[in-house]
């Protein structure tokens, strides 16, 4: 089934060219069904890239999904045109007076800052407080996961010795947990970050449960309050060339980055990377939409 997005959103044409079922507003309004309303707070600087990546994964489900893009009002991104933000994004004040089936909070390139030093931290705290009563389930990605674990559960981040960049092997616990239903015993996920979260701190909190981790990258999938909040410490939504773009960006800045782990064939950046994580990324988002949103949200919000 399709995702429903604005007819004029630039990524719509790309999705259609990839044979992803996208439904425009006109056709969607003529169908007599109850679609899921999903809100995405996009904190990433390259907003159109993140839109495309997330919508690819959200389209792999038999459910019809309405997408609404949300931006911060206390900080305006410098890497996207104001026209794009004004045309396709909502401010918090325009969405706060209604209920949402699902909510996604993306990562952001601010992880070296203390949370309280992030320019939009107060606004993000307000949004997370609001989501507790107005959203069925929220999924937090990378820095968004660290921010959510810190604010909602008191689990702080810590600095890593060097940037964690690459595609890492993971394994699941509790294979009957719906979030990892259909996962293989081992699977791969891209990570790109300078900070991590402590497994010991998560295990010590009886409201949190780790359901997948990596021996190298640490806890990966964490469920809070039985699925009210879900935390994804990596970037399963990444395209095949995203880590390559980040590596070359850092190299061009003179940062002397390490070659991303398990990414280029023979660790040769001149060779095209191999995509090895898309199936599990799609399964993750399909499981979230089905088991933690669709099965739990009311047919009619009251």
Mind telling me the catalytic residues? Answer: 142, 235, 237
Please give the Cα distance from 111 to 3 (Å, whole number). Answer: 31
3-state secondary structure (DSSP) of residue 34: coil
Percent helix, strand, coil in the chain, to 5, is 35, 25, 40
Asked whether the beta carbons of 258 and 163 are under 8 A apart, the reply is yes
CB atoms within 10 A of CB 161: 6
Whether the Cβ atoms of residue 173 and residue 210 lie closer than 8 Å to each other: yes
Q: Which residue has the tokens 């990414």?
A: 263
CA angle, corner 25, sides to 6 and 235, nearest 5?
45
Report which of 69, 92, 35, 59 is spatially closest to residue 297, judged by C-alpha positions. 35
Q: Is 273 exposed, middle or buried (0-12, 13-18, 19+ CB in 10 A)?
A: buried
């Amino acid at each position: 089934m399709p995702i429903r997005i604005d007819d004029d959103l630039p990524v719509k044409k790309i999705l259609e060219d990839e044979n992803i079922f996208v439904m425009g507003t006109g056709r969607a309004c003529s169908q007599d069904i109850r679609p899921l309303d999903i809100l995405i707070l996009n904190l990433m600087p390259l907003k159109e890239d993140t839109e495309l990546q997330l919508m690819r994964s959200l389209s792999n489900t038999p459910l019809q999904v309405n997408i609404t893009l949300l931006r911060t009002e206390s900080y305006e991104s410098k890497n996207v045109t104001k026209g794009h933000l004004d045309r396709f994004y909502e401010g918090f004040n325009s969405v706060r007076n209604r209920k949402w089936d699902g909510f996604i909070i993306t990562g952001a390139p601010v992880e070296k800052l203390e949370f309280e030093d992030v320019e939009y931290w107060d606004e993000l705290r307000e949004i997370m407080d609001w989501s507790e009563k107005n959203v069925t389930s929220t999924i937090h990605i990378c820095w968004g996961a660290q921010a959510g674990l810190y604010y909602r559960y008191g689990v702080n981040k810590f600095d890593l010795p060097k940037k964690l960049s690459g595609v890492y092997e993971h394994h699941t616990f509790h294979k009957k947990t719906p979030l990892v239903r259909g996962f293989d015993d081992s699977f791969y996920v891209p990570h790109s970050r300078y900070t991590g979260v402590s497994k010991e701190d998560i295990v010590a909190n009886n409201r949190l449960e780790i359901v997948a981790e990596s021996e190298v990258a640490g806890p990966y999938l964490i469920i809070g309050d039985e699925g009210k909040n879900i935390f994804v410490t990596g970037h399963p939504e990444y395209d095949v060339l995203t880590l390559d773009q980040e590596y070359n960006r850092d190299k061009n800045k003179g940062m002397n980055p390490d070659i991303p782990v398990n990414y280029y064939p023979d660790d040769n950046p001149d060779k095209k990377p191999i995509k090895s994580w898309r199936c599990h990324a799609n399964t993750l988002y399909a499981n979230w939409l089905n088991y933690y949103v669709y099965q739990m949200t009311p047919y009619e919000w009251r």
